[in-house]
């Protein structure tokens, strides 16, 4: 067996400590306000995509229109959906959460 020198021991200890520092738990951020707003409207099950966009633009003028449009379009695709459930288009184009 080889003996570690004092310098090698401190380097090894430093590596272990630095790797321990990088393992920080990530805290899940709260969704943006416009996402909560749109989610609540979708839960009601009364609005089509065009109406949801208009309400989102009216309530959040500081958010880019393209952002709200993208969130609504992506909500129907399982790969890009940012809501907790997938959104489906029902009768008359009404958007609701899948059951």
Within-domain flag for 63: yes
Average pLDDT over residues 4-16: 63
Within-domain flag for 60: yes
Domain count for the chain: 1
Within-domain flag for 17: no
Within-domain flag for 49: yes
Residue 9 is predicted with a pLDDT of 61
Residue 99 is predicted with a pLDDT of 82
Within-domain flag for 59: yes
Q: For tokens 């393992």, name the residue.
A: 23
Distance in Å from the first CA to the final CA of the chain? 63
Note down the domain range covering 88: 33-97
Within-domain flag for 68: yes
Answer whether residue 38 shows pLDDT above 70.
yes
Answer whether residue 24 shows pLDDT above 90.
no
Write the DSSP string, 14-73: HHHHHHHHH-PPPPPPPPPHHHHHHHHHHHHT--BHHHHHHHHHHH-TTS-HHHHHHHHH
Within-domain flag for 27: no
Answer whether residue 91 shows pLDDT above 60.
yes
CA dihedral 47, 50, 53, 54 (to 10 degrees): -90
Residue 91 three-state SS: helix
Answer whether residue 5 shows pLDDT above 70.
no
């Amino acid at each position: 067996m080889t003996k570690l020198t004092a310098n090698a021991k401190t380097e090894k200890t430093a590596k272990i400590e630095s790797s321990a520092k990088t393992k920080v738990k990530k805290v899940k951020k709260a969704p943006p306000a416009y996402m909560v707003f749109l989610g609540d409207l979708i839960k009601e099950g009364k609005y089509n995509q065009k109406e949801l966009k208009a309400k989102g633009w009216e309530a959040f003028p500081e958010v880019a229109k393209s952002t709200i449009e993208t969130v609504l379009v992506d909500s129907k695709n399982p790969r890009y959906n940012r809501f907790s459930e997938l959104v489906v288009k029902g009768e008359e184009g009404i958007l609701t959460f899948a059951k």
